[in-house]
Amino acid sequence: MSFKDKAAIIGIGETDYVRGAGRTEVDQMVEAARKAIEDAGLTRHDIDGMMPPPVLTYTEELAANLGIEDLKWASVVAMGGATCTAMLQNAAMAVASGVANNVVVMLGWNGYSALRPKPGTPPGRTNGPFAFENILNDFYAPFGVTLPVQFYGWLATRHEHIYGDQTPAKAEIAMAFRKNAQLNPKAITRGRPLDLETYMSSRIISSPFRLYDCCVET
């Protein structure tokens, strides 16, 4: 099914990307949503569809904070790191099918590495969906595995076992991300370009991934 000429992103809103925002996730998501609605040339009364994030909040809370009293459609998608893309896809399907006219898609998190569990520290309550939370606490955390870089480290290790060392390719990816960040005024790493020497001298976080293979959020 093609969404060409049937659905489009017509407004974008963002908050600042910082460590320690001093604000709740809901507060920041509401701010970003208001900016997106304004950017689209709409008002809250034009919004008849909503996609909240799979954790931290829910449709009713966000709608109330935005002053939206009536929704024709709402949906939640939980696909881990692919959630953002899947949310856009679902919103496009809703618009293309005529279920909703204007859908606001929201996602936000006050997370960064300093807030993650440390080695030797009992795992606390995670922000993940309950099913995944139970699996993480029962089968992963007891062995010290609590971070995405550790999960994907296993996959990358298998990949390198089959295809050989991929360090040059990983370096190109990391440098490309940092290069793109220089074009975004809100990027945390703007003004700090990354070169190959710096990448290669960075420490291993979870083999085979180095420091600069990790995103600044996780």
Structure tokens, 193: 């370009």
Position 179 pLDDT exceeds 80: yes
User: Mean pLDDT over residues 88-115, rounded?
Assistant: 88
Highest mean pLDDT among 114-123, 130-139, 151-160: 151-160
Position 198 pLDDT exceeds 80: yes
CA 46 to chain centre: 26
What residues pair up with 103 in beta bridges, in sequence order?
49
Q: What is the pLDDT of residue 126?
A: 47
pLDDT digits (tens, 9 = 90+) for 22-59: 888 999 999 999 999 999 999 999 999 999 999 889 99
Helices and strands (H, E) in the chain, number of each type: 7, 5
- Residue written as tokens 């109330």? 64
- Residue written as tokens 């949906």? 75
User: Mean pLDDT over residues 182-204, rounded?
Assistant: 95
Compute the distance between CA of residue 118 and CA of residue 188 in angstroms, rounded to an integer.
23
- In the chain, what are the domains? 25-105 (3.40.47.10), 116-144 (no CATH), 147-218 (no CATH)
Q: Say what the pTM is.
A: 0.77
Q: Are 50 and 100 in contact (CB under 8 A)?
A: no
